[in-house]
Amino acid sequence: MVTIALLEIRKKRGLSQNNLAVKSGLSPNSIRRIEGNEATSIPVATMDKLCKALNCEPGDLYHYDPSLPQDEEEKSSRGKKKG
């Protein structure tokens, strides 16, 4: 499963959620949603702002762990037949 590593990177940079929000131009709520894996997708413009604020590459913000279970919603949508 792919997860977002924003919390880990933000803490390594010594930033609070509010500091990152100000630095990136995103709302504190957006930062919280992304860190809590509540965001179902992250727009490219948002990733660009985060990467600029954190001085990192987009790939740095993602973590892949095949041992983690997939989201139940994702599993159920794959099981549905079209048509």
- Rounded-to-integer distance, Cα 6 and Cα 46, Å: 12
pLDDT for the residue 71: 61
Give the list of residues 6+ apart from residue 79 with CB closer than 8 angstroms, or none.
none
- Rounded-to-integer distance, Cα 66 and Cα 24, Å: 30
User: What does each of the 83 residues of the chain score in pLDDT, given as a tens digit?
Assistant: 788 999 999 999 999 999 999 999 999 999 999 999 888 889 999 999 999 999 999 999 988 888 877 764 444 334 444 44
Instruction: Tell me the fold of 2-67.
Output: 434 Repressor (Amino-terminal Domain) (1.10.260)
